[in-house]
Amino acid sequence: MTEITALLPPLVPQIAVVQGASRGLGLAFARLLAEGGARVFATCRRPDRAEALAALAQRHADLTVLPLDVTDESSIVMAARAVAREVPCVDLVLNCAGLLHADDQQPERRLRAVRPELFARSFAVNAIGPLLVARELEPLLMRSANGLFAALSARVGSIADNRLGGWYAYRASKAALNMLVKTLSIEWARHTPPITCLALHPGTVATDLSKPFLNGSERRVFAPEVAARRLLAIVGAATPAQTGSLVAWNGETLPW
Ligand SMILES: NC(=O)c1ccc[n+]([C@@H]2O[C@H](COP(=O)([O-])OP(=O)(O)OC[C@H]3O[C@@H](n4cnc5c(N)ncnc54)[C@H](OP(=O)(O)O)[C@@H]3O)[C@@H](O)[C@H]2O)c1
């Protein structure tokens, strides 16, 4: 993708749900979609602590903040019901919540560091959560003429592309997410009109998730707005023929 393409405004769907919008890429997606005129439902697990998102909602009457913790199934059900009370369909669902490290848990550099707790949390947030979001928003996506479900994955979740090793829980949970997106794409391709499913790799983005691991040697690190704009251009141009693939920020289809 050229720099000129990166400057193009994103193609904006009419009604979007951004899951995991308190900060980082999710917040950037919510901002770009709201500024583009979309009706946006931005979810996060603690709206009372999501100050930047609350400020965004103050500026955009068409942006609604809803509580949703992907590890709490009932909160996903409640959020989907709240969306259904407001709109007849959803055109775009963007799953952004992701876990690489927590205060008490760092990604594993070697086998000795593997802990079941980090595995369980990583799978809950990175893989099972987006699938439950898909399950609960399915009826609304099915009523859209161009429904698209996207999940922020990562190149490190590609089995074929794994050259460095390490990060067992994150890699495995993103590989699981990729499989779930692929599996969902097969089921939803049978629907009329089909719902397109994509796993997205945003590149390396300067957020809280990547910060501890940036050492200045990276070839490129994107600002969240830049990465989100590029991915929205990809999502806006996506066709049902692309469903079930892992697409990077530059439009490249990555191997599973
Ligand atoms: N940054 C990168 O370089 C990079 C590269 C490849 C892929 N990605 C992927 O891109 C996505 C966004 O990452 P980011 O860089 O924007 O990360 P980030 O700045 O660390 O934000 C992570 C988001 O996930 C939310 N979250 C965590 N656990 C949650 C839960 N149980 N329920 C709901 N939300 C939860 C956080 O909410 P709270 O504010 O409540 O904690 C926050 O909004 C992730 O899936 C990540 O794996 C990022």
Provide the token pair at 129. Answer: 């959560």
Return the sign of the alpha-carbon dihedral for residues 32, 175, 182, 221: positive
pTM higher than 0.85, yes or no?
Answer: yes
Give 3's contacts (C-beta < 8 A, 6+ positions apart). Answer: none
DSSP letters for 147-180: -EEEEE--GGG-STT--S---HHHHHHHHHHHHH
At residue 7, the pLDDT reads 41
d(CA 95, CA 93) in angstroms, rounded, equals 6
At residue 10, the pLDDT reads 52
Please report, as a single letter, which amino acid is at residue 250.
N
Q: Do the beta carbons of residue 66 and residue 41 sit within 8 Å?
A: yes
Residues in contact with ligand 1 (CB, 6 Å cut-off): 20, 22-26, 44-46, 69-71, 96-99, 125, 152, 154, 202, 204-205, 207-210
Distance 217 CA to ligand 1 centre (A): 22
Q: Do the beta carbons of residue 65 and residue 54 sit within 8 Å?
A: yes
Following CA atoms 226, 1, 202, 151 in sequence, which dihedral angle do they give, to the nearest 10 degrees? 110
- Short-list 148, 158, 30, 130, CA closest to 71: 130
Q: Which of 27, 29, 41, 45 should be mutated for ligand 1, with most atoms under 8 A from CB?
A: 45
At residue 55, the pLDDT reads 98
Count Cβ atoms below 10 Å from residue 118 Cβ, excluding itself. 23
Phi/psi of residue 67, nearest 5 degrees? -75, 135
pLDDT digits (tens, 9 = 90+) for 203-249: 999 999 999 999 888 889 999 999 999 999 999 999 999 999 999 99
d(CA 153, CA 174) in angstroms, rounded, equals 6
Across 1-16, b (16+ Cβ under 10 Å) vs e yields: eeeeeeeeebebbebb
Q: Do the beta carbons of residue 210 and residue 155 sit within 8 Å?
A: no
Q: Do the beta carbons of residue 17 and residue 84 sit within 8 Å?
A: no
At residue 210, the pLDDT reads 94
Q: Do the beta carbons of residue 23 and residue 52 sit within 8 Å?
A: yes
Q: Do the beta carbons of residue 214 and residue 163 sit within 8 Å?
A: no
Distance 134 CA to ligand 1 centre (A): 18
What are the mean pLDDT values of the chain's consecutive 10-residue runs (256 residues total)?
42 88 98 96 98 98 98 98 97 98 92 95 98 98 96 97 96 98 96 94 96 89 97 95 97 96
Burial of 215 (0-12, 13-18, 19+ CB in 10 A): exposed
Distance 190 CA to ligand 1 centre (A): 31
